[in-house]
Structure 1
Amino acid sequence: MKTLLFVILATGLLATTAQAEEQESPALIEGQSAETLAEAVSHLSDYNSRLSALLSQPELRDEDLAIIHDLTYTLENALSRIDKEVDAMTASVEEVQQGAQSDDRARVREHGQAYLESIRFLVK
Structure 2
Amino acid sequence: MKLGFSTLAMAAALAFSANSFATERVEHFKGVPSPDLATAVKNFSEYNNLLAKQLDGELTPQALAEIHQLTYTLEVALEKIGDEVKALADTLEEVHVASETSEPEKLAEEGKKYMQVVNELKKL
Q: TM-score, normalised by structure 1?
A: 0.76
Consecutive unaligned residues in structure 2, runs of 5 or more: 1-23
CA deviations 1:19-74 (Å, max 9, x no partner) are: xxxxx7572212101001110111011101100001101x2100100000000000
Mapped partners of 2:36, 2:84: distance in 1:
8
SS at match of 2:86: helix
Task: State how many pairs are aligned.
Answer: 100
Is residue 2:100 matched to residue 1:122?
A: no
- Looking at CA atoms only, which structure, 1 or 2, has the larger radius of gyration? 2
Higher RCO (C-alpha under 8 Å, 6+ residues apart): 1
**Matched ranges for 1:1-12 at <5 A:** none
Q: Which residue of 1 aligns with 2:46?
A: 46
Mapped partners of 1:26, 1:94: distance in 2:
40
CA distance 1:49–1:25, change in 2 (3 Å): closer
Q: Which residue of 1 aligns with 2:62?
A: 63
Q: TM-score, normalised by structure 2?
A: 0.76
- Aligned alpha-carbon RMSD (Å): 1.5
Point out the more displaced range, 60-69 or 27-36: 27-36
CA deviations 1:102-122 (Å, max 9, x no partner) are: 111111111001000111111
Identity %: 37
Consecutive unaligned residues in structure 1, runs of 5 or more: 1-23
Q: Which residue of 2 aligns with 1:33?
A: 33
**Matched ranges for 1:98-113 at <5 A:** 98-113=97-112
**Matched ranges for 1:74-89 at <5 A:** 74-89=73-88
